Each structure stands twice: as structure tokens, then as C-alpha cells.
């Protein structure tokens, strides 16, 4: 458990850092976070993943599997001993994010609300696939980063190769900020290139003590060369320093640090620091780097949103006295206090017990209590200010991505977009008594995780859950059992296919029934058009002259959406389609919303008959890391799975194969890759895009689906 320290209320904005620790799975994010907590006095004992004693990985499933599943928020404090922020205590709100691609939503929503981040690189492997993904996510939200080249003590660790890997694979302007003294078993310290000071750690214990020594004689040339590169790179971002540099003038360390801070905040430079979190080396220097170079809320002063009434853009400044604007970025069900809503405050002040306005949903909510989170430890506070990340208890209807603000000054902030699920499975309660509990558990879990979807299959009566991968669904089912005491039977994972059209077509939807009394009359003409891949769905009305009264356009759209959801070809959702209602007729007495809803559904089905419907399947980006001797077997096996091999390259002493493979072919791959390589090969997989399913495979899928609404050609 984290130790609760005093929490100061009067922290100025420039003494706050909101940062995330992001990286590929197993690069050492959680270990790095645990060291930060130890050095900042948050814990008395260093947490260890292998022993299951980490603070941020507090869920039972995380400790059992040694992976991070949910992002954990922690508030801690650090006082640098040197540099421009010397002896100035700074509050750091840290979010430790998962590395596994199944939990990509946790990374996405964390980056949306952070001011800066530390990207952890594995010095033995360089940039890996998930590193590229989190880098793209950080770029999307323009999050400034510093890099920590971790695991400098492992066999094959190469600091400069790791930096080159970041430059080549990420397109990052990565540059050495310090140099390691030794590597692998001989890694014992670092040299700060700007101050030209060398630090060596005493023994292998907690790493809390290190000595400042002279730069080793055999490293003098390397230090000179890399310092020159760093100074040149920093000078290139500042006109005044560039003049000095070109004029051969000496540039002070203070000037260089000030310019580097500005360059990092503007995403122009990514300084790379060396270390080994497991061996407790280099973490304090990285913490100093966080304080010196990553932005405070003051540096990213403005947040832009939209006024819900006028639809015009408005700006809020990071000022505690300004009108409140905040974003709910995570919902978590806590067994002790109920539903926790994590909030990033961009402007204004949030008070415990106060009422606030959810502008996304146009509702008022009341905050029961406010908490500072230390992973699963909580500290109650009375109020929170602009720039802070806190958790609120008592918000009933606020979900991830909702904006919270002052009712008199409403604003809607940019929400968070999440990828579509790619895999589904059927779930049913084992007993009648579990039925109600299952519904509650699924609704709670889908509130927590925006990539977890739940729907009912009306034809089979089954409940279908969908997510980003098998591991995510497996853990959610496990959580239902442990946290909600629900016993459930689970079907085999199913690929989330989609249906789409290939050409424009029209269809007539006519629903006319006469049954003696008042009849039913709904009639519309629809035109359907294909949209580019990944566009989703659109519905447009081109009705003019009152051919269909306005109040019946909405029901037509509802009928269309229901048909799109249930599928036409094989029972999968229809996507990348524009549906246009352009003509129709109505009856003064017999027309109703229900009849037009049915007409919309019938019209879409008829148009789809003529539109060359096809199935789309999720294509995964797969990266296999294998010893050279198994390379041929790996490529042959992937080729048999309809894979498109993109590249093979050497990374360290292993071969890395990059391929695009249909998800449908990847069932049981973890077992087969282990048996093919005597357990020595590993793989990583993430969703990449959707592609048409080959026609021979489509016929089999349609036959297997037994879908009654399929089109007969």
C-alpha cells in the first residue's frame, strides 16, 4: 500500500507535472514507476513485479500475470538537487499505462489528458511495435516526450543503437542527453552531457546513493562528440543561440537548458537518458529531466473547446479563478467507494459537494467527494484546481470523454476517440440467479472500458461481448467472476467481421397493411453509396416538397440503423455506407412512425441486393521475434495463414518478421509459435485495418453463420 504523505494545496502551476509512463509491453514501465515512487518517498520499499508487490499493478489479475491492465494514477513529489529547479518541490501526477495492445484505450485516454510523457525504450531491443503505436498516440495529442533508455544492464544493450532506432522507426528527433558509463554487466553510471558531470552508483542496492566523479579518460572523446551534437541540435531551435553557436561563442548551460525545455515542449527534440530501473540506476536523473524539460499546466496554458449553444470555439486558460472546464477520462468501479470518475481540470476550481454541469450530456451532476489517487490508495481533499488530476465520487451519469464545466459558461472539450473492437464472444450466465448479476457486471465493465462493447443477438438470444483482443476479454470475464461473483459460460472467440457495399444502388421500402381498422402505410426510396474504408456510416435526407413529412425521416433512419446493426449478408454490422432517402409517399391517416421505420429497413435490404455486398475482416499487424534458425518455419507458417510478409530485419541477435495477417487465421497462434521455436520466439499483434474477405472464404463464413437475412445471388 502507498504511504499517504501531506498533500499541499498551494502548489503553483509551474510546480505541477502531469506525466504518463508509456512503452511497449515489457520495456519496464511499471518497474520505472515503482522506482519513482521509492525515490520520491511515496513507498518505503521498492515494489517488485515478480513478487507481486507493485503499487501501480494492484489488481489481482495484474499481479498474477505480471502485466499492467488498467492505468494507475499516482500523486507524488520530487525536489531536484541541481539545475534551475534546485530545491523546489514539484508535484508530479503520474499515470502508469499498460503496454499490451489489448488495453490501448487506457493509453489513449491517459495521453489525452497528460501534459508530457516518458517513453521507455528497451536498450536491448530498441523501438518495438507497441512503442510505435504509443508514439503515434502521443503525437496525435501533441504530448511532449523525453525518452528513458531502460535495461542498460541487459545482454545486448546498446544506447546509441536505441537512439538510432528511435530516429529510424519513429521519425523522432531523438538525441543523447547523457551517456552510459559501461553497458550490460558493466553499466555503472551516466555522464550528463550539458553539465559534463559523471555519476556512478554505489553497489546494486536501492540506487539512492551515487557519487559524482571525473569523466573517465577513455570516454572524454565520446563526451565531446555527443555534447557537440546536442548543443548543435538545441541551438538549431533558437535563433539567438544559433547566432552564438555559429559565431563560436560559448553558450552557458542555463541557456542550453532553457532552450532545450522550449524545444521539448514544442515537440522538436526528444532527449534520451540512459538507465536501468531494475538495478536502480539513472531514475533520479530521469526525474530531474521530467521537472526540467516536460511542461507544467502553465506551459500548455490554453485548452480549446466548443460552446454548445453557439457552436463557436472558445478558449480556457489554466487559471484556478477562471470558469470550470474539465474532462472525465476514466471511470473505475472501486469496491470501497463505488464509482470513481477520474477528471483532468483544465481551468477553474472543483469543490467537494458542489454541483456541476455535464455539457456533453446536458445534465447536472453532484460531486460527493474528491480524492487524490495513489494507485488504489485514496486521500480525500476538499477542492482541486486547474492543472490537477483527481478522482470524484458521486457522478452517476458522467462517462469517459464527457466534458464538465460551469453551467453559466458551458464548453465541450475535444472528446477521446477509441478504436472499434475486432473480436467477440458469446457469454451466458450459468444459473438463473446469475442473470441479473451478469447484466449489472457487464454494464459496469463497459462503463470502465470504452473498447468493451455489449450487445444482444435477437436471433439467438445470446449476449455478445466484444473487445480489442482475447486477453482483454479473458480478463474481463475473470473480473466478473472475482469482483461481481458472476459465474458464466463463454463461447469461442469470434472475429468481428463487417459488411459493406461496393457500388451505388437504390431500393424501395414499402410497408402497407390494411386490417379493417386503421392500417399501416410507410413508403420510401433509398439510395445507398459506398464510402472510403474506415468512414463509418452516414444518413442523409434529400426529401423536398413534403413527399415524406419531416416527423417520419427520423423513424426511417432508425429502421436503417437497426438493419445496419443486425447485418444483411451474414449477420455482421454494415459499415462504410451512405444511405440517402430521396423520395417516398405517405397516407394522411395510416402513416405512422412504426410503418416508416419498417419501410426504412426494407428499403435498405432491397438496395443492398443490387450493391454487391462483401464481407470485411480485421487485418492485424503481427511482429514475430525469433532466433535465426526458426526464421524459415515462421515465414512458411505465416504464409499459410494468408499473411502478407512486409519485412524481415535483424534486431540484436534475433530476426524480426513484420507481416499483415487476417485475425481469423491467428487463433491459437501463441501455442503454435511456442512449439515451432522450442518456446524461444515471441510475437506481438495489433489491429491495423479492415480488408475484403476472399470470396471462397466469404461463402464458408455465410454458410457457417446460418444467417436468415442473407442475400441470395
Write out 373-387 in H/E/C secondary structure.
EECCEEEEECEEECC
pLDDT surpasses 50 at 422? yes
In the block, cell 481469423 appears at 664
* pLDDT (tens digit per residue) in 301-349: 678 888 888 888 888 888 888 899 998 887 777 767 777 888 889 898 9
At residue 4, the pLDDT reads 37
pLDDT bucket at 500, cuts 50 / 70 / 90: very high
CA distance 62 to 475: 10
The residue with greater pLDDT, 181 or 456, is 181
CA distance 255 to 263: 12
pLDDT bucket at 606, cuts 50 / 70 / 90: very high
Radius of gyration of the CA atoms of the chain, in A: 28
At residue 508, the pLDDT reads 95
Please state the rounded mean pLDDT for residues 700-707.
Answer: 76
CA distance 551 to 595: 12
For the chain, percent of residues with pLDDT exceeding 90: 28
pLDDT surpasses 90 at 1? no
What's the whole-number average pLDDT of the chain? 82
- The conformation of residue 130, written as its DSSP 8-state character, comes to H
At residue 671, the pLDDT reads 79
Cα-based distances in Å from 608 to 30, 241, 543, 599, 690 = 50, 64, 21, 14, 20
* pLDDT (tens digit per residue) in 126-170: 887 778 778 887 888 888 999 999 888 888 889 999 999 899 888
Please state the rounded mean pLDDT for residues 366-378.
Answer: 75
At residue 537, the pLDDT reads 93
Please state the rounded mean pLDDT for residues 278-284.
Answer: 82
Enumerate domains of the chain plus CATH numbers.
13-224+269-293 (3.40.50.300), 309-413 (2.40.30.10), 423-494 (3.30.70.870), 499-612 (3.30.230.10), 616-699 (3.30.70.240)
At residue 652, the pLDDT reads 67
At residue 206, the pLDDT reads 54
**How many helices and strands in the chain, by DSSP H and E?**
16, 38
- The conformation of residue 208, written as its DSSP 8-state character, comes to -
The lowest-confidence range among 204-208, 276-280, 654-658 is 204-208
For the purposes of burial, counting CB atoms within 10 Å of the CB of 245, is it exposed (0-12), middle (13-18) or buried (19 or more)? Answer: middle
pLDDT surpasses 60 at 44? no
- Residue pair 547/585 in contact (Cβ under 8 Å)? The answer is yes
The lowest-confidence range among 112-116, 584-588, 610-614 is 112-116
Q: How far is CA 409 from the centre of its chain?
A: 30
pLDDT surpasses 80 at 52? no
pLDDT bucket at 47, cuts 50 / 70 / 90: very low
pLDDT bucket at 40, cuts 50 / 70 / 90: low
CA distance 604 to 325: 42
For the purposes of burial, counting CB atoms within 10 Å of the CB of 404, is it exposed (0-12), middle (13-18) or buried (19 or more)? Answer: buried
* pLDDT (tens digit per residue) in 547-565: 999 999 999 999 999 999 8
At residue 429, the pLDDT reads 82
Top-confidence range, 51-65, 75-89, 119-133, 514-528 = 514-528
pTM above 0.75, yes or no: no
At residue 58, the pLDDT reads 39
Please state the rounded mean pLDDT for residues 357-374.
Answer: 86
CA distance 364 to 360: 11
For the chain, percent of residues with pLDDT exceeding 70: 86
Q: What are phi and psi of 642, to 5 degrees?
A: 60, 30
At residue 96, the pLDDT reads 64
At residue 3, the pLDDT reads 34
* pLDDT (tens digit per residue) in 209-267: 778 888 888 999 999 999 999 999 999 998 999 998 888 888 899 999 999 999 999 99
pLDDT surpasses 50 at 590? yes
For the purposes of burial, counting CB atoms within 10 Å of the CB of 78, is it exposed (0-12), middle (13-18) or buried (19 or more)? Answer: buried
Strand 403-405 to 614-626 pairing: unpaired
* 6 CB neighbour count, 10 Å cutoff: 6
At residue 600, the pLDDT reads 96
- For 207-225, give one letter per residue: b (16+ CB within 10 A) or e: beebeeeebeeebeebbee
In the block, cell 475486432 appears at 422
CA 150, 152, 155, 160 torsion-angle sign: positive
pLDDT surpasses 80 at 568? yes
At residue 268, the pLDDT reads 93
Cα-based distances in Å from 612 to 208, 529, 709 = 67, 11, 15
At residue 386, the pLDDT reads 86
Please state the rounded mean pLDDT for residues 40-46.
Answer: 50
* 61 CB neighbour count, 10 Å cutoff: 16
Please state the rounded mean pLDDT for residues 70-92.
Answer: 78
pLDDT surpasses 50 at 644? yes
Amino acid at each position: 500500500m502507498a504511504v499517504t504523505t501531506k498533500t499541499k494545496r498551494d502548489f503553483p502551476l509551474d510546480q505541477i507535472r502531469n506525466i504518463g509512463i508509456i512503452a511497449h509491453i515489457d520495456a519496464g514501465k511499471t518497474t520505472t514507476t515503482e522506482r519513482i515512487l521509492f525515490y520520491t518517498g511515496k513507498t518505503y520499499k521498492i515494489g517488485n513485479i515478480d513478487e507481486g508487490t507493485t503499487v501501480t499493478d494492484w489488481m489481482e489479475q495484474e499481479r498474477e500475470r505480471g502485466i499492467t491492465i488498467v492505468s494507475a494514477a499516482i500523486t507524488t513529489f520530487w525536489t531536484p538537487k541541481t539545475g534551475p529547479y534546485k530545491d523546489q518541490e514539484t508535484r508530479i501526477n503520474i499515470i502508469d499505462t499498460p503496454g499490451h495492445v489489448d488495453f490501448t484505450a487506457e493509453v489513449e485516454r491517459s495521453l489525452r489528458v497528460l501534459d508530457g510523457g516518458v517513453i521507455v525504450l528497451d536498450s536491448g531491443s530498441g523501438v518495438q511495435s507497441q512503442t510505435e503505436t504509443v508514439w503515434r498516440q502521443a503525437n496525435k495529442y501533441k504530448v511532449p516526450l523525453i525518452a528513458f533508455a531502460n535495461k542498460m544492464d541487459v545482454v545486448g544493450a546498446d544506447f546509441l543503437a536505441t537512439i538510432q532506432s528511435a530516429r529510424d522507426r519513429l521519425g523522432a528527433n531523438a538525441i543523447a542527453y547523457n551517456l552510459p558509463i559501461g553497458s550490460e554487466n558493466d553499466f555503472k553510471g551516466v555522464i550528463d552531457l550539458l553539465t559534463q558531470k559523471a555519476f556512478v552508483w554505489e553497489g546494486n542496492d536501492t540506487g539512492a546513493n551515487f557519487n559524482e566523479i571525473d569523466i573517465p579518460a577513455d570516454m572524454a572523446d565520446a563526451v565531446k562528440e555527443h555534447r557537440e551534437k546536442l548543443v548543435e541540435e538545441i541551438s538549431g531551435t533558437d535563433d539567438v543561440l544559433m547566432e552564438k553557436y555559429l559565431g563560436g561563442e560559448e553558450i552557458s548551460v542555463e541557456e542550453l537548458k532553457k532552450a532545450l525545455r522550449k524545444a521539448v515542449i514544442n515537440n522538436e527534440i526528444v532527449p534520451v537518458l540512459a538507465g536501468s530501473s531494475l538495478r536502480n540506476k539513472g531514475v533520479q536523473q530521469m526525474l530531474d529531466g521530467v521537472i526540467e524539460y516536460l511542461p507544467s499546466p502553465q506551459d500548455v496554458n490554453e485548452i480549446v473547446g466548443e460552446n454548445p449553444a453557439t457552436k463557436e470555439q472558445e478558449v480556457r486558460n489554466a487559471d484556478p479563478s477562471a470558469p470550470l472546464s474539465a474532462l472525465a477520462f476514466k471511470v473505475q468501479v472501486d469496491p470501497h467507494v463505488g464509482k470513481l470518475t477520474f477528471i483532468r481540470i483544465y481551468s477553474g476550481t472543483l469543490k467537494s459537494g458542489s454541483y456541476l454541469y455535464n455539457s456533453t450530456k446536458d445534465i447536472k451532476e453532484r460531486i460527493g467527494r474528491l480524492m487524490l489517487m495513489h494507485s488504489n490508495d485514496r486521500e480525500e481533499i476538499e477542492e482541486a484546481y486547474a492543472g490537477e488530476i483527481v478522482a470524484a465520487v458521486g457522478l452517476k451519469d458522467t462517462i469517459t470523454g464527457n466534458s464538465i464545466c460551469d453551467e453559466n459558461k458551458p464548453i465541450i472539450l475535444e472528446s477521446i476517440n477509441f478504436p472499434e473492437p475486432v473480436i467477440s464472444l458469446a457469454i451466458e450466465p450459468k444459473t438463473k440467479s446469475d442473470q441479473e448479476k451478469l447484466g449489472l457486471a457487464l454494464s459496469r465493465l463497459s462503463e470502465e472500458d470504452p473498447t468493451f462493447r455489449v450487445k444482444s443477438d435477437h436471433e439467438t438470444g445470446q449476449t455478445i461481448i466484444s473487445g480489442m483482443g482475447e486477453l482483454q476479454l479473458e480478463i474481463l470475464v475473470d473480473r466478473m467472476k472475482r469482483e461481481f461473483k458472476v459465474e458464466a459460460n463463454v463461447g469461442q472467440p469470434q472475429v468481428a467481421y463487417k459488411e459493406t457495399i461496393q457500388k451505388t444502388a437504390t431500393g424501395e421500402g414499402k410497408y402497407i397493411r390494411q386490417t379493417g381498422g386503421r392500417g399501416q402505410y410507410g413508403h420510401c426510396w433509398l439510395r445507398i453509396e459506398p464510402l472510403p474504408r474506415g468512414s463509418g456510416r452516414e444518413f442523409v435526407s434529400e426529401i423536398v416538397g413534403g413527399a415524406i413529412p419531416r416527423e417520419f425521416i427520423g423513424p426511417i433512419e432508425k429502421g436503417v440503423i437497426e438493419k445496419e446493426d443486425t447485418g444483411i449478408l451474414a449477420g455482421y454490422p454494415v459499415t462504410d455506407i451512405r444511405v440517402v432517402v430521396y423520395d417516398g409517399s405517405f397516407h394522411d391517416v395510416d402513416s405512422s412512425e412504426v410503418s416508416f421505420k419498417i419501410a426504412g429497413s426494407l428499403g435498405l435490404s432491397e438496395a443492398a441486393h443490387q450493391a454487391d455486398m462483401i464481407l470485411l475482416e480485421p487485418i492485424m499487424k503481427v511482429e514475430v521475434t525469433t532466433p535465426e534458425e526458426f526464421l524459415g518455419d515462421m515465414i512458411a507458417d505465416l504464409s499459410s495463414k494468408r499473411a502478407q510478409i512486409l519485412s524481415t530485419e535483424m534486431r540484436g541477435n534475433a530476426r524480426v518478421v513484420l507481416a499483415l495477417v487476417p485475425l481469423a487465421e491467428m487463433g491459437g497462434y501463441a501455442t503454435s509459435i511456442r512449439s515451432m521455436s522450442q518456446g524461444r520466439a515471441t510475437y506481438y499483434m495489433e489491429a491495423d485495418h479492415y480488408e475484403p474477405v476472399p470470396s471462397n472464404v466469404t461463402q464458408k463464413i455465410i454458410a457457417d453463420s446460418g444467417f436468415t437475412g442473407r442475400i441470395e445471388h
